Chain A
Amino acid sequence: MINARFFNRSELIGFLALAVLLFVILPLSLDIFRLNLVAKYLTYAFVGIGLVICWGYGGILSLGQGVFFGLGGYCMAMYLKLEASSVENTKIQSTPGIPDFMDWNQLTALPFFWKPFHSFPLTLVAILLVPGIFALIIGAAMFKRRVGGVYFAIITQAIAAILTILIIGQQGYTGGVNGITDLRTLHGWDIRTDHAKFILYFVEVVLLFACVIAAQFIRLTKLGRILVAMREQEDRVRFSGYSVANFKIFAFCAAAIFAAIGGAMFTLEVGFMSPSFVGIVPSIEMVIYTAVGGRMSIFGAVWGSLLVNFAKTSLSESFPQLWLFGLGALFIAVVLAFPNGLSGIWADYVQPRVDRLFGSRKSGWNDNSVADGAPAE
C-alpha cells in the first residue's frame, strides 16, 4: 500500500523550499565561514531525520544518538588522522608514522583496529557498518527482551556515558578528551581550504536529501505504517502476528546509520572529532533539535537543527555570558506553546491559509493523516 504519490502537495512544497534554500539561497548569500557553520548545523539534521523515524514514528526515544554520531565521526577522523600522520609529517616523534597522541602515550606501533582505516573504501564501509552493527546489537539485546519506553531511553543514555568514559580513558588509542585533531587531507585533497569547504557543503546537502528521501520512503511503505501502529498499540501489532522487536531494531539501526553519516560529515566540515559529541549532553541536544522542529516531520527535523543551532550561534555571539538562558527560554517556549514543534505551527496555522489561498482544501495533505497525527499520549 505505497501511496501513489511519493510526496503529497504540501510535502512537495516543503521539499522544494528546503532545496531552494540549501542549494541556492544560502550558498549565494553567505560567506564561506557562515556557510561552513550551516554545514555544521546540517550534520545534526541527519541525526534529526533518524530520530523522526525512530522516535516520532516508531515511538522509541533514544537519548544516545551521540554514540552513533560519534562512531561515524571517529571512523572518518581515524582515516583522516592516519593520512595526516605520514612518516614525513611526524618525523620529530619517537615513532614516526603513528598519530601524535599515540606517541605521547608511549605507543610504538599502530593498534590493530586502526589499520583498516588506511584504506578509504574500508573507512566508508566502516562509517555505515560500525554504528549499524553496534545499534543492531543494542537493539537486539533490548527489544528482544521487550525493554522499551523510559527504560530504553535510560539505557541508551548509559551507553553514551560509558562510551565517553571509554574514549577518554583509552587516550593512547583514541586521543582521549582532546579527541582526534589536526586533520588535513581526504585522499590527498586538502579539506581546510575555502574551495574544499564549498564543495563539502554541497556533498553534504546532497547526502542530506538522499537521507530525506530514504526516510520518506520508509515512512510511506507498509513498514512505516507498522511503526506507527507499534507506537500506538504495541500489543495489537504483536497479536496480529508481526515481530515487533525486528521492526524496532530496524528503526533503531536506520536512525543510527543516519546519525553516523552526519557524524562523518561533521568531522569533514569541522576538522576534528572529540568525545564531547558522544556523551549525554549532545545526545539530548540532538533530541531537542528534533523536538523543536517537530518529531513527526522529516523536514521539521532539518529546520529544527538549522534554527536552533543558528540561534545558539547568534545568541552566544551577542550575549557571551547570558546566551544559555536565552536558549533555554526558547526551548521552554517552543515545547509549552507548540508541542508539535515548528512543523506543528506550520500544519496548524500556515498550511490552512495556504490551502485557502489556492482554494484546494480537498486535495492532498490528509492522505497520511494516520502517520501525521500527533501521537496519543
Chain B
Amino acid sequence: MSDEANKGLNSPLRRKLLMGMAALPAITMLPRTSFAQAPATSVVNTTGLAVTDTEVTVGILHSVTGTMAISETGSVEAEKLAIEQINASGGVLGRKIKFIQEDGASDWPTFAEKAKKLLVNDKCAAVMGCWTSASRKAVLPVFEQYNGMLYYPTFYEGLEQSKNVIYTGQEATQQIIAGLDWVNKTKGAKTFYLLGSDYIWPRTSNKIARKHIEGHLQGAKVVGEEYFPLGHTQFNSVINKIKLTKPDVIYAIIVGGSNVAFYKQLKAAGIDLSKQTLLTISVTEDEIDGIGGENIAGAFACMKYFQSLDNANNKAFVSAFKKMWGEKTVIGDVTQAAYLGPWLWKLTVEKAGSFDIDKVAAASPGVEFKGAPEGYVRIHENHHLWSKTRVGKAKADGQYELVYETADLVEPDPFPKGYQ
C-alpha cells in the first residue's frame, strides 16, 4: 500500500464515498475486483488484528471430530463456501480472507482453549463457530475478555446477548411461537404433548411453548411433558402414553442420534404421521439423512430455512454448495445460518469501514443481507437476526415441502417478557 493511497483514504471525500457505499448494501455486494482501491491497513485495523494489505485472517471453530462432528460438518462446509465466494468477488475491504480452522473436538473446554488461541495467538478478525449451547457458553467469556467477534449459527434457547456475538440462527421465540400459532389455526390443535432431550435448549424451548400454549392459544393445554437423556434410545413407554392421551400435537425437541430411535419406534408402534400431527423444531434435513425419510414423512418442522425453498438466492446457494461438497450433501437450517456468518461479517466490516471489533460490533445493527438463501435477513440491535419463520412438511425423499411462512420478518426477542 503506497502513501498516496493512504492520503487518498484520509481525504474527507473518499471517506464520504466509502460511507455512502456502506449505506447501500446493494452496491457493496457488487464484485469488487480491484485490490488497488483497498484502504490502508493502518486505517482499517487499529487494534492489531491479523490484517495485512492483502489478507485478513478469520477463524473457523467447529467440532470435526467427536459426536458433534456429524452436525457441525455442514456448518464448516457452508462457511468455507461463503469465504470462497467472498474472495472470488474481491474479498473484504479489498483483502482476501484467509481462514484458520481449529477443532473443538465436541469437548467444551477444548472449544475455550481453541477460541483463546484464535483470538490471542492468531488475532483473528472474526470467528465463525460453535454449535451446541454448551460450546458457546464455554467460549463466550473468552470472546468478551479478549474482545473477539463470534458468528454463531445454531438456533438456540435465547436468554443471551453479547456485544461480541452475532447470532445468525433463531432464538427460541422465533422458532416456536409462529409454528404453534400455525398448528393451532390450521389444524385446530388444542392438546399438546411436549417431548425433549434433557438439556437447556429443549427445556427452555418447551417452557416457552407451554407459556404460549396456555397463555395465548384459546382453550389449548399441555397434556404431557417429558425429557430423555441425550443419546436415549428407548421411547416405547412415552409412545404408549401418547397413544393413551391422544394429543392433537406431539411437540418434539429430541436431538441427535435419539431421533433415529424415536421416529422408527413411533412408526413401529403404528402412529401414522400423516394422521397424527407432529411438530418438531430439532429435525433438519441433516437429521432426516440419519432417520430415513420414510420414517418421518408427514411430520412438520418449524425452521427458518429449508433446502427446498424456491427463490433465486437459494437455488444459486444450493447448486454452489453441491458443486463444492458433492451432489449427495443435504443442507439444513443451521448450515444455511452458518453460510450467513462470513457474509454478514463482510457487509458489517464494509459498513464500518474497519476491521476493529468495537466498530464492527457497533455497526452490526441494521446490516442487511439480501443475498441470503433464506431470503432476506437484517441484524437487530440485540445482535440476533430478523428472519421469517417457516413450517415444512417432511417428505419421503428427505426434503421438506414449505407449507407456511410468516408474512413478515419475526423480531428476535432473546429475553421474552411473559415467557420466562
Q: Judging by beta carbons under 8 Å apart, are B109 and A171 in contact?
A: no
Q: Judging by beta carbons under 8 Å apart, are B103 and A274 in contact?
A: no
Q: Find chain B residues with CB under 8 A from A168 CB.
A: 198-199, 229-230
Question: What is the interface of chain A mostly: helix, strand, loop, or mixed?
Answer: helix
Q: Does B186 contact A (CB under 8 A)?
A: no
How long is the Cα–Cα vector from A26 to B159 in the complex, in angstroms?
A: 41
Interface members, chain B 131-157 (any A CB < 8 Å): 133-134, 137-138, 140-141, 145, 157
Q: Does A104 contact B (CB under 8 A)?
A: yes
Given A179-B134, A182-B141 in contact, is the A320-B198 Cβ separation under 8 Å?
no
Q: Judging by beta carbons under 8 Å apart, are A321 and B64 in contact?
A: yes
Q: Does A105 contact B (CB under 8 A)?
A: yes
How long is the Cα–Cα vector from A321 to B72 in the complex, in angstroms?
A: 13
Q: Which of A105, A274, A324 contacts B203 (CB 8 A)?
A: A105
Question: What is the interface of chain B mostly: helix, strand, loop, or mixed?
Answer: helix
How long is the Cα–Cα vector from A64 to B137 in the complex, in angstroms?
A: 26
Q: Which of B121, B141, B157 contacts A181 (CB 8 A)?
A: B141
Q: Find chain A residues with CB under 8 A from B140 CB.
A: 181-182
Q: Judging by beta carbons under 8 Å apart, are B120 and A171 in contact?
A: no
Q: Judging by beta carbons under 8 Å apart, are A33 and B121 in contact?
A: yes
Q: Find chain B residues with CB under 8 A from A276 CB.
A: 107-109
Q: Judging by beta carbons under 8 Å apart, are B229 and A320 in contact?
A: no
Q: Find chain A residues with CB under 8 A from B108 CB.
A: 178-179, 272, 274, 276
**B105, B110, B114, B141 pick with most chain A CB within 10 angstroms:** B141
Given A178-B137, A320-B64, A320-B103 in contact, is the A169-B198 Cβ separation under 8 Å?
yes
Q: Find chain A residues with CB under 8 A from B230 CB.
A: 168, 177
The interface on chain A, measured as residues whose beta carbon lies within 8 A of the other chain's beta carbons, has a size of 37
Q: Does A130 contact B (CB under 8 A)?
A: no
Question: Smallest CB-CB separation from B157: which chain A residue?
Answer: A104
Q: Which of B109, B116, B200 contacts A272 (CB 8 A)?
A: B109
Q: Find chain B residues with CB under 8 A from A37 CB.
A: 113
How long is the Cα–Cα vector from A271 to B138 in the complex, in angstroms?
A: 9
Q: Does B117 contact A (CB under 8 A)?
A: yes
Q: Does B112 contact A (CB under 8 A)?
A: yes
**Would you give the 0/1 interface string for B62-102, flagging 1 where the beta carbon is closer than 8 Å to chain A?**
00110000000000000000000000000000000000011
Question: Smallest CB-CB separation from A180: which chain B residue?
Answer: B137
Q: Find chain B residues with CB under 8 A from A171 CB.
A: 198-200, 203
Q: Does A4 contact B (CB under 8 A)?
A: no
Q: Which of A40, A104, A277 contacts B204 (CB 8 A)?
A: A104
List residues of chain A with CB under 8 Å of any chain B CB.
31, 33, 36-37, 40, 92, 94, 100-101, 104-106, 165, 168-169, 171, 176-179, 181-183, 192, 270-272, 274, 276-277, 313, 316-317, 320-321, 323-324
Identify 6 new A-B residue pairs, CB closer than 8 A, beyond the known A94-B420, A104-B159, A171-B200.
A37-B113, A104-B203, A168-B199, A182-B137, A276-B109, A316-B102
